[in-house]
Amino acid sequence: MLGEGLLKGLGETARNFAGSFVSKERLTTVQYPEEREPLPEASRAFPFLVYDGADWEAGLRCVACQICEKECPPKCIYIEKSKDKKPDYVGKPQIYPAKFDIDISVCMSCQICVEVCPFEAIKMDNQFELATDDRFGGLLYDRKELARSNEYYHKIHPTEAAEVDARLAEEKAKAEEKAKAVAAAAAAKAAPAMAAKPAEGAQPQ
Amino acid sequence: MVIFAILAPLTVAGGLAAVMLRNTVHCALAVAVAFAGLALLFLQLNAQFAGFAQILVYVGAVAILVVFAILLTRSSETPATGVFSKTWLTGLVIAAAVFAVLAWAVLGSRTALPHEQIEPQIAVAQIGYALMGRYVLPLEIVAVLLTASMIGAVIVAMYEKGGAK
Amino acid sequence: MSESLLEAWNRPPTIEVDGEGELLEVAMGPHHPSTHGVFRMDVVLDGERVIKLKPVFGYLHRNHEQIGQTVGYLQMMPYTDRLDYFCSLTNNWAYALAVEKLVGQAVPERAEYIRVILAELTRIQNHASTIGFLTQEMGASGTPLMYAFREREKILDLFESLTGSRMMCNYMRFGGCRVDMTEAHLNAARKIVTGLPRFIDEFENLLTSNEILMARSQGMGVLKPDLAVNAGITGPMLRASGVNYDIRKVDHYGIYDRFSFRVPLGEHGDIYDRYMVRVLEMRESLKILEQALKDIPAGPFIDPKAKIRGFKPKPGEAYGRIEAPKGELGFYLISDGGTSPYRFRIRPPSFINLTVLEDMCIGQNVADVVVVFGSVDIVLGEVDR
Amino acid sequence: MTNMLDQVFVLLKHRIVGLVPMPVQPILGAVLSVVAILAVFPGLFAISVLLERKGLGRMQNRIGPNRVGPLGVLQPVADGIKALIKEDLVPYSADHVVHFLAPVVLVVVVFMGYAVLPMGRNMTFVPMDAGLLFYFAMGASAELSIFMAGWSSRNKYSLLGAMRAVAQMISYEVPLLLSSVVIVMMTGSLSLDKIVEVQNQYTWGLPHWFVFTPMGFAAFVMFAIAATAETNRSPFDLPEGESELVAGYFTEYSGFKFAEFFLGEYVAMLSISGLGATLFLGGWSAPLEILNVVPSWFWFFAKIMVWICFYIWMRGTFPRLRQDQLMNFAWKFVLPMTLLNLLVAGLWRFMGEGWLRWVVCSAILLAAYVLGGRIGMRSKKFGPRSYRYAE
Amino acid sequence: MSPLSCYLLVAALLFAVGLAGALTRRNAILVLIGIELMLNAANLNLIAFWRYGPHPEALTGLMFAVFSIAVAAAEAAVGLGLVISIYRHLRTVDLDEISRMKG
């Protein structure tokens, strides 16, 4: 009969209308600025640089290897290597980024820089409210603006950060062990010669 | 009388504009004003039914038909050749002559015309009874005429698909 | 515009024009409420009847194929998200498939299951929103669209918690997936799958037997099967025309052979058939999902030996194609042994399905043009690339 | 006491009018009524816009406007202020005079329709003998203003939208009139007050509304369809079908003129709902005899709002028809049905009291409806389909 | 001057205006408009005579006007139909150009 489908449709909207008052499922709206849905842990927005310790400049994990710069699909990362070296988390002297800029307005949040980074130095933030009225410089972040503490990383991605920390700790332990072993070996090697050449043995590898 | 003094010039102005404006659509809108003014004059003359019928038929239907015809015949742009016919002077003279004769007749018979009467109070029901009683034959004929003209208009204006029909 | 295109546009109309002869040329778009983005249709009208239609696109051209030839294999992956931004996961899959063919990479069992689950979820959300947009074109005040978005939201939430992003997932990798789908994710997917049949019922109640929808869509925008085959139409459009061609069935890619599902076919090739084929496909996708979520094995989610980055495939070529929600999505790669492909070519279903727009619209009412256009199911990002 | 409440506005008007000298009294009375109408119906317009936006939102599982004022109830006020302070853009090549006059004419004509609607017991502005005719005359004039708007904008979309709107309104005016004629046949009067009086009777506490008779119900359905089309509401909202025509005849209007169109549209909707309620749902009469304690004007406005809610409900559910389908539906289905309905109304009159006429009239109308629908769907070759699967 | 003669004068003026329009315009549609004006002027006469004449209760003039309105509507419909059909044949509605009898 003509009109049957129309009545069925009317029934459906009526059900939804009534349902929106009683069922959360039928009224999924969240009043955004006031209430926010918790972001899933994996949620990603734009990259940041992780640093350990309190001093962001000293603690940056980045060693300016430039892999992320090379791999970034839209080429939004710009790195300048430093001339001098400073010790990294293992204590090994490393080059550090004299300049590390990310143009957030170009970045497409693909996470490839995070994947390729061998030093766990760059991670994805979940901060997405970055709107600014400065067209040119407002979204061009330098090293300082990009630096976030490891604690912050733990806060936004707890599981992942714990894994990373464990891995780093393991690496560090390994490196220390190795360094110790090397030192021991060197010491052992140096011991007979110590008498002959004391100055040489004191120098680290 | 005051109302008449407002309505009559309005109506005539509408009519004049309809005849004289260059833009065809403006003419159609002006004639709608004239029709509306006439309807109000009818109301002023206590002919409620005729007045509403006038609005319904003329403003609601005829004016719309006219604008549709204007758009369908693409005559809403003013033609370069001018809007008045080659014989416009003759027409104007004839019209003026007709008005002169009519006005002379009206003014001449001023004394013979009946004067102020009591206002007739006509209920719509009375019109209905008259239509169904004394005027039933004209009503039927008008009905037939309307049907015939409707069919005629449709056939005349119908798309001629695949040659003559 | 090349000469031949100009000639094509200037050729006499294919249908007879009535005696009226006054043709009206209307440019629908690029800023028009119904063009899903920046797309223009130059329509020549005889009264309200369409006698010529020229789709004009390229407003959203972003040079994807050239980008693919300059960046490395991995770096192209996030760009594929941006082709058809409604179904980034299927795009990922097609591209991953092409590269896997090129380098001869096998995919672990669990990864295949994950891919199927995500692809079918993508299909459901794409079809639901397409139907929503289609009814929007018909003037349904967005009610079906909002229902579709309500369900899509759940699926996107799952995508976000799994891949980190709602739409630009960048999830597949050569030889597997980027991260594992944990039990929590699987449970979320199961919950979505149990809720979806009710939603599809709701959709069908609202639309399928609606007389206005029938009047608007049945017999409108008919696509004949032979024309569809000749023009290379794929996906629900082709199946609505009655041609049984589903790459999941014919190409045996992934592990689709293991699931039992049917391919719904239309008969008339009109808008209603396209609508119904999509609805029925959603139901079939649900069947696949149920099976996949039941059978998913444990194991690695990516081949641990797989090279992700900086590899140089041997010179050769590969074509990876899948049944994307919109049709056959293919990536064609030629390697010359370098770190980036020598030639990178995308076969976008939206673009090729759009080529028959004029044939479907000619002789139709102008109001139907937007509905026919909506029934094609395109995303301008994929059309213009 | 209930009588007092019922007549509160009438008494108030008399009291105020009584304060001025005799010769000015009719003028003041008219002014008071006009002011009341101009105050109440734009207020209802605001309420129905809010209802529409909230209701549509709820139907679509959204919340709707909720930022301005508590629960967003001040949204119409904000919209109004926005419309007022917006720049008034007139296209360069537009016909400025006509462009300006179109919304004014629309609003004036639409408000004129209220003159004859009985909004409560003794609450008709101009109790006119040919009230129904007056109403339709005013409704017919609105078409001209829509044409003016579309033509004067010099925009293809506007003109196309206006042509569609006018064609549609003319086509549906016929069934609208003919379905009301059934009521005129049953009451023997064109006066809306008389029509309500006839319906304001009760048997066993139930009202004698015309919607409860077979042809009254059929006429009600046809009237509702035609009224929806007449006011360009979904599913007949093609004149402003944004997927094809951007915004129809008021595409080129902005600021206050746009607001006038918006107002005109909603006020026309309210007034045609009022007419429908008057003709079929007993106007200001209470739905049950015992409910007569509630003032009559309350029932009138309640019925209007129910009708408006139904409009909103339909808008939230249906896609829109196409122009030719709309015309076909008007001329090939609604019009024949209303004509048949006229015949049935005559039959009803001559069959005399008894249950037989109920059965016969209902059977004729139902059969015609089912048959007509079936034939219509078959001739257009549409209907439910079944699908085959390939394994 | 009696009110009746005022109405009659207005009607005469309208009639003359309509006649002038019908005789001077080139556009067939505007000629039709002129004719409609003339018919309306006649209606005004009829109603004025009914109102001020003897025996208004007999409704003769009013009825005449009502029928005239109905007939005029039919006339307008057929006339405009003809204009449209002429336009379709000759692509013009300019009466100075439509001077041949052969279509």
CATH number at residue E52: 1.10.287.3510
Task: Tell me what pLDDT residue A201 has.
Answer: 44
Q: Which of D243, D323, D380 to mutate to test the interface with C (most CBs of C within 10 A)?
A: D243
CA distance D317 to chain A (A): 6
Which residues in chain D have their CB less than 8 angstroms from residue A34's CB? none
Name the β-bridge partners of C176.
C173, C302
Which residues in chain B have their CB less than 8 angstroms from residue E88's CB? 160
The confidence band for C35, taking pLDDT boundaries of 50, 70 and 90, is low
The contacts found for D323-329 with CB under 8 angstroms, 24 or more apart, are D323/C48, D323/C365, D323/C367, D323/D164, D323/D167, D323/D168, D323/D238, D324/C48, D324/C365, D325/C215, D325/C216, D326/D168, D326/D171, D326/D229, D326/D236, D326/D238, D327/D167, D327/D168, D327/D171
What single-letter amino acid sits at E88?
R
Does D31 reside within a domain?
Answer: no
Instruction: Inform me whether the pLDDT recorded for C64 exceeds 80.
Output: yes
Query: What is the spatial distance between Cα C81 and Cα C79, in angstroms, rounded to a whole number?
Result: 5
Query: What is the spatial distance between Cα C172 and Cα C107, in angstroms, rounded to a whole number?
Result: 11
C334 compared with B153, residue with greater pLDDT: C334
Q: Are B125 and D188 inside 8 Å of each other by CB? A: yes
Which residues in chain C have their CB less than 8 angstroms from residue D238's CB? 139, 367
Cα torsion angle, B88, B91, B96, B99, sign: negative
Residues D192-236: tens digit of each pLDDT = 888 888 888 888 878 888 888 888 888 898 899 888 888 888 788
Q: Two tokens at C40?
A: 């223009």
Task: Tell me what pLDDT residue A205 has.
Answer: 41
The contacts found for C117-120 with CB under 8 angstroms, 24 or more apart, are C117/C181, C117/C189, C117/C289, C117/C292, C117/C293, C117/C296, C118/C89, C118/C93, C118/C159, C118/C162, C118/C171, C119/C89, C119/C90, C119/C93, C119/C254, C119/C322, C120/C285, C120/C286, C120/C288, C120/C289, C120/C292
Which residues in chain C have their CB less than 8 angstroms from residue D381's CB? 218-219
Does D25 reside within a domain?
Answer: no
Task: Tell me what pLDDT residue B76 has.
Answer: 63
Task: Tell me what pLDDT residue A89 has.
Answer: 65
Q: Chain C within 8 Å of A4 (Cβ-Cβ)?
A: yes
pLDDT by residue for chain B (165 residues), tens only, comes to 778 888 888 888 888 888 888 788 888 888 888 988 888 888 888 888 888 888 888 888 888 888 888 887 776 666 666 667 777 788 888 888 888 888 888 888 777 666 666 777 777 788 888 888 888 888 888 889 888 888 888 777 666 544 333
User: What radius of gyration, in Å, describes the C-alpha atoms of chain D?
Assistant: 22
Q: What total number of domains does chain D contain? A: 1
Query: What is the spatial distance between Cα D327 and Cα D332, in angstroms, rounded to a whole number?
Result: 8
Q: Residue C11: exposed, middle, or buried by beta-carbon count in 10 A (0-12, 13-18, 19+)?
A: exposed
DSSP letter at B74?
Answer: T
Candidate from C66-80, D328-342, E79-93 with smallest mean pLDDT: E79-93
Task: Tell me what pLDDT residue B162 has.
Answer: 42
Does D312 reside within a domain?
Answer: yes
Task: Tell me what pLDDT residue D89 has.
Answer: 81
CB D119 within 8 A of CB D131: no
* Mean pLDDT computed over C295-304: 84
β-strand pairing of A47-51 with A93-103 = unpaired
CA distance D139 to chain B (A): 8
Task: Tell me what pLDDT residue B80 has.
Answer: 64
Query: What is the spatial distance between Cα B73 and Cα B68, in angstroms, rounded to a whole number?
Result: 8
Residues of the domain holding E8: 3-90
The fold of B1-79 is Four Helix Bundle (Hemerythrin (Met), subunit A) (1.20.120)
- The ranges assigned to domains in chain A are 47-165
What single-letter amino acid sits at D101?
L
Percentage of chain E beyond pLDDT 70 is: 92
Identify the contact set of chain D against chain B, taking CB-CB distances under 8 A. 95, 98, 128-130, 133-134, 136-141, 143-144, 147-148, 151, 159, 163, 166-167, 170, 173, 188-191
How long a stretch of residues is chain A? 205
Residue the block writes with tokens 């020598």: C342
Q: Chain B within 8 Å of E98 (Cβ-Cβ)?
A: no
Query: What is the spatial distance between Cα A37 and Cα D106, in angstroms, rounded to a whole number?
Result: 47
- In chain A, which stretches have pLDDT less than 70? 1, 89-91, 190-205
Task: Tell me what pLDDT residue B164 has.
Answer: 36
Residue the block writes with tokens 């049917």: C262
Task: Tell me what pLDDT residue D292 has.
Answer: 75
Percentage of chain D beyond pLDDT 90 is: 0
Q: Which of A112, A114, A124, A126 to mutate to test the interface with C (most CBs of C within 10 A)?
A: A112
Query: What ipTM describes this predicted complex?
Result: 0.79
Q: Chain E within 8 Å of B32 (Cβ-Cβ)?
A: no
Query: What is the spatial distance between Cα D62 and Cα D56, in angstroms, rounded to a whole number?
Result: 8
CB D269 within 8 A of CB D233: yes
| Architecture of the domain spanning A47-165 | 2-Layer Sandwich (3.30)
Instruction: Inform me whether the pLDDT recorded for C149 exceeds 80.
Output: yes
Q: Chain C within 8 Å of A41 (Cβ-Cβ)?
A: yes
**What's the pTM value of the predicted model, to 2 decimals?**
0.83
Map out the domains of chain C with their CATH numbers. Answer: 64-384 (1.10.645.10)
Q: Which of D63, D311, D315, D378 to mutate to test the interface with A (most CBs of A within 10 A)?
A: D63
Choose the closest CB to D390 out of C32, C215, C265.
Answer: C265
Q: What is the 3-state secondary structure (H, E, C) of C88-136?
A: HHHHHHHHHHHHHHHHCCCCCHHHHHHHHHHHHHHHHHHHHHHHHHHHH
Cis peptide before D235 (omega within 30 of 0): yes
- The ranges assigned to domains in chain B are 1-79, 122-165
Q: What total number of domains does chain E contain? A: 1
C139 compared with A133, residue with greater pLDDT: A133
Choose the closest CB to E47 out of B12, B42, B114.
Answer: B42
Task: Tell me what pLDDT residue C32 has.
Answer: 67
Task: Tell me what pLDDT residue D129 has.
Answer: 81
Instruction: Inform me whether the pLDDT recorded for C17 exceeds 80.
Output: no
How much of chain A is helix, strand and coil, in % rounded to 5?
45, 20, 40
Q: Which of A7, A20, A22, A26 to mutate to test the interface with D (most CBs of D within 10 A)?
A: A20
User: For D60-130, where are the alpha helices, taking DSSP H only?
Assistant: 75-85, 96-112
Query: What is the spatial distance between Cα A63 and Cα A120, in angstroms, rounded to a whole number?
Result: 10
C23 compared with B160, residue with greater pLDDT: C23
Residues of the domain holding D56: 39-379
Task: Tell me what pLDDT residue B163 has.
Answer: 39
Residues D270-296: tens digit of each pLDDT = 989 989 988 888 888 888 877 777 888
Residues E7-56: tens digit of each pLDDT = 888 888 888 888 888 888 878 888 888 888 888 888 888 888 888 877 77
Q: Chain E within 8 Å of B21 (Cβ-Cβ)?
A: no
